[in-house]
Chain A
Amino acid sequence: MSEKSFYEFISNGVPGPEQKVNADNAIMPARKLAFSRFRELGLPTLKTEEWRYTNIQRYLKDAFTLAQEEEGTVTAAQISTAGIPHLDSYRIVLVNGRLQTDLSQIPANGKVTISKISDAAGNTQLQAWFDKHPHLQSQPFAALNAALFADGLFIEVSANASLDKPLHIIHTYTASANAFIQPRHLVLLHKSATLEIIESSLGLNDTAITFVNTVTEVVLEENAELWHYNLQSTIKNSRHLSHTSTTQKADSRYHHFNFTLPAAEMTRNNLSVALTGSNTETNLHGLYLATGQQHVDNHTFVDHLVANCNSNELYKGVLLDNANGVFTGKIHVHQDAQKTNAFQQNNNLLMSEKANINSQPQLEIYADDVKCSHGFTVGRFSDEALFYLRSRGIGEEAAKSLLVNAFAFDITDQVHIPALQDFLAEKIRQYVAGAINN
């Protein structure tokens, strides 16, 4: 598909921006606006600053159709393969962005709403926040998503409420022909609410290409706290582009974890946090482990708009085989944002001569009374450490996975759900072993 034909496909796609998905869809007018925004912004090229290291058009060349819901194509047995052993959670299952109530365990708690975003279209809270995040406005794929999203989740937690267990959201993607899938979610925590979310994905059909363009908006009202884990590990023939855009009001705490593991061909994450109230805490942890020909691009943006906020970011990457990594960490401290603490660190471990990383911090600091730092490292594997382990009888494969797990430890150690910690360690072990045996 050329750039031109991608536009054609998009504008002729079903459902088109002028068509109504739901008769009572109160967010319909927004789709129209969003579509013109997308046309104005245009598709990024390698000349677009934010897309210099990710040739996104390359991944849009194939002929796609807009994914339709494939009812009943996903079974409980298939979903169970996406489980995290020993994790006690409420399981929420989506197929191509649509909530499957029959496969889900929606908590019966009057204070927590989990519904299809299309069903919640009349909700005034949703309308108030939908597509309002300041950083989304300049993002062409976010605009495209706003115009054409199929469906997604709306999660709302009432003031002071919480759940007894984490929500485990399993995003399932299935399509018999190349599909362009656009889920859209909004998570809203009212004052002093808390929630833990684990997102993971499951690709079911690798004979066709799936391109998933997700937008997730998160709103944390005063003193709310969200633990947000995102596990990206799926099948080869998939391409994932995501925007996670969070707004934090005063005293709120946001802990975001992004784990990008094999085997999606391309992953591009745009994570941005707008700090609109003071005394907030933001912890962004990322771990990307890429093998084969994988391309993993993480763009993060922490926007310190007001005074007295703390942000802490640590992204670590392990790149094997021919994998290619990109990290861009932007921190913007506005003039009024005095007493800001903003730290950022990106460490990489290259395990092959052909693996590559492009990393760039972007610090824009306009306030004078702030503490900010950033750092970037690239390391090769320590032969000494490897030899030490092997000399104790530990095979090369196990030794390497021990060392990779050790490298990732700063990140996995922050995960405060033991079952998830174990699951990640085991995944890392498997992928490192897989890469060595290739």
Chain B
Amino acid sequence: MLTIKNLHAEVDGKQILKGINLEIKRGEMHAIMGPNGSGKSSLSSVLAGRENYTVTQGEVLFDGKDLLEMSPEDRAREGLFLAFQYPVEIPGVSNLHFLKTALNEIRTYHNLPALESKEFLKLTKEKQQLVDFNANLMNRSLNEGFSGGEKKRNEVFQLAMLDPKLAILDETDSGLDIDALRIVASGVNKLRSADKAFVVITHYQRLLEYIVPDFVHVLYNGQIVKTGTKELALELEEKGYDWLKEEVHQKESV
């Protein structure tokens, strides 16, 4: 579904991604871990099309199409979704109106008619229950004055509403209380299916107990330096990143 080949990207003249290779297939759950500042959010930004990143090398294919050629909105319409690490507050734009606009723009792109208000509300209710999202927040301005956890849950609610092929969750678990973490994880599990894929970026092994990944990748210094299974996450939890960093530096000096 998604093929990342030798991806290099920079921001403000600073090289951040230094040759990422990753293959994601339908039905798979990938976890990306790695120390602060290693480039995890940068990778998701580049995939989503944030304009201040410049791709200097490499390519990304999304279901055979050149992802990097597309505008951010077309990437979303093709089925890519990024749950942001830091969702922005947009005063004055109602959460529901925003979602309706997004949903209908995606539908129009696929030559589908806009949803009737009734259908939209039905869908809203269904998804709101699925991820246990507070109905009071739906009518408020987008993320405005939401608590950290509420913002994250809104990202998951949007994810459920827009039903993408590939969802990238950037630290959606940080800021969630223990119950919310379980609820959000079970929501994500319910959204999993054979034709969809997920990438969860996290610092905590705990999330991966609920959302069991098929692969765990470690991103360090702009590269994926190790890939393993869920056991790798356990190992990292125990040992931290130093041993991996050392491995990398040893390889480099060889």
Contact A391 to B105, CB < 8 A, known contacts A396-B73, A406-B93? no
CA distance A399 to B88 in the complex (A): 14
In this assembly, does B234 line the interface, its C-beta being within 8 Å of a C-beta of chain A?
Answer: no
Q: Is the CB of A393 within 8 A of B90?
A: no
Name the segment of A30-38, A236-244, A379-387, A416-424 touching the other chain. Answer: A379-387
In this assembly, does A388 line the interface, its C-beta being within 8 Å of a C-beta of chain B?
Answer: yes
Contact partners of B141 in chain A: CB under 8 A: 406
Contact partners of A227 in chain B: CB under 8 A: none
Q: Is the CB of B101 within 8 A of A398?
A: yes
Closest residue of chain A to B103 (Cβ to Cβ) is A393
Distance in Å: Cβ of A319 to nearest Cβ of chain B: 18
Q: Is the CB of B92 within 8 A of A407?
A: yes
In this assembly, does A395 line the interface, its C-beta being within 8 Å of a C-beta of chain B?
Answer: yes
Closest residue of chain A to B89 (Cβ to Cβ) is A385
Q: Is the CB of A392 within 8 A of B98?
A: yes
Q: Is the CB of B87 within 8 A of A392?
A: no
Interface flags for B57-88 (1: CB within 8 Å of A; 0: not) read 00000000000000111011100011010011
Q: Is the CB of B102 within 8 A of A392?
A: yes
CA distance A407 to B48 in the complex (A): 25
B contact residues, range: 20 to 34
Q: Is the CB of B73 within 8 A of A395?
A: yes
In this assembly, does B51 line the interface, its C-beta being within 8 Å of a C-beta of chain A?
Answer: yes
Contact A393 to B106, CB < 8 A, known contacts A387-B50, A402-B98? yes
Contact partners of A389 in chain B: CB under 8 A: 90, 93, 98, 102
Contact partners of A387 in chain B: CB under 8 A: 48-51, 72
- Which A residues from 395 to 413 make CB contacts under 8 A with B? 395-396, 398-399, 402-403, 405-410
Distance in Å: Cβ of A404 to nearest Cβ of chain B: 10
Contact A391 to B48, CB < 8 A, known contacts A402-B93, A402-B101, A407-B92? yes
In this assembly, does B205 line the interface, its C-beta being within 8 Å of a C-beta of chain A?
Answer: no
Closest residue of chain B to A406 (Cβ to Cβ) is B92
Contact partners of B82 in chain A: CB under 8 A: 391
In this assembly, does B158 line the interface, its C-beta being within 8 Å of a C-beta of chain A?
Answer: yes
CA distance A383 to B50 in the complex (A): 10
Contact partners of B109 in chain A: CB under 8 A: 393
Closest residue of chain B to A402 (Cβ to Cβ) is B93
Contact partners of A406 in chain B: CB under 8 A: 90-93, 141
Identify the interface centre among B49, B50, B73: most chain A CB within 10 Å of its CB.
B73
Q: Is the CB of B90 within 8 A of A392?
A: no
In this assembly, does A394 line the interface, its C-beta being within 8 Å of a C-beta of chain B?
Answer: yes
In this assembly, does A390 line the interface, its C-beta being within 8 Å of a C-beta of chain B?
Answer: yes
In this assembly, does B160 line the interface, its C-beta being within 8 Å of a C-beta of chain A?
Answer: no
Closest residue of chain B to A388 (Cβ to Cβ) is B88
Closest residue of chain A to B102 (Cβ to Cβ) is A392
The SS class assigned to the A binding surface is: helix
Distance in Å: Cβ of B221 to nearest Cβ of chain A: 26
**B51's contact among A383, A402, A410, by CB below 8 Å, is which?**
A383
Contact partners of A393 in chain B: CB under 8 A: 73, 76-77, 102-103, 105-106, 109, 162
Distance in Å: Cβ of A146 to nearest Cβ of chain B: 42
Q: Is the CB of A392 within 8 A of B92?
A: no
Contact A391 to B72, CB < 8 A, known contacts A398-B101, A403-B93? yes
Contact A388 to B77, CB < 8 A, known contacts A393-B109, A402-B98? no
Distance in Å: Cβ of A347 to nearest Cβ of chain B: 12
Q: Is the CB of B88 within 8 A of A390?
A: no
Q: Is the CB of A390 within 8 A of B93?
A: no
Closest residue of chain A to B158 (Cβ to Cβ) is A392
Contact partners of B76 in chain A: CB under 8 A: 390-393
Contact A390 to B73, CB < 8 A, known contacts A383-B51, A398-B105, A402-B98? yes
Closest residue of chain A to B77 (Cβ to Cβ) is A393
Contact partners of A396 in chain B: CB under 8 A: 71, 73
Q: Is the CB of B92 within 8 A of A394?
A: no
Distance in Å: Cβ of A89 to nearest Cβ of chain B: 26
Contact partners of B105 in chain A: CB under 8 A: 393-395, 398
Distance in Å: Cβ of A389 to nearest Cβ of chain B: 7
CA distance A283 to B114 in the complex (A): 39
Closest residue of chain A to B48 (Cβ to Cβ) is A391
CA distance A302 to B82 in the complex (A): 49
CA distance A410 to B144 in the complex (A): 15
Contact partners of A403 in chain B: CB under 8 A: 90, 93
Q: Is the CB of B72 within 8 A of A390?
A: yes
Contact A385 to B73, CB < 8 A, known contacts A392-B162, A402-B93? no
CA distance A384 to B142 in the complex (A): 13
Contact partners of A385 in chain B: CB under 8 A: 88, 90
Q: Is the CB of B73 within 8 A of A388?
A: no
Interface flags for A173-184 (1: CB within 8 Å of B; 0: not) read 000000000000
Distance in Å: Cβ of B107 to nearest Cβ of chain A: 9
CA distance A382 to B91 in the complex (A): 12
What are 28 pairs between A and B in contact, CB < 8 Å? A382-B88, A387-B48, A387-B49, A387-B72, A388-B84, A388-B87, A388-B88, A390-B72, A390-B73, A391-B76, A391-B84, A392-B81, A392-B158, A392-B162, A393-B105, A394-B105, A395-B73, A395-B105, A396-B73, A398-B101, A402-B98, A405-B93, A406-B90, A406-B91, A406-B141, A409-B91, A409-B92, A410-B92
Nearest first, the 9 A-B pairs at minimum CB distance are: A406-B92, A409-B92, A393-B76, A390-B72, A392-B102, A393-B106, A406-B93, A390-B73, A388-B88
Given A393-B105, A405-B93, A406-B141, 15 new contacts (CB under 8 A): A385-B88, A387-B50, A389-B98, A391-B49, A392-B76, A392-B158, A393-B109, A393-B162, A394-B101, A395-B73, A398-B101, A405-B92, A406-B90, A406-B93, A407-B92
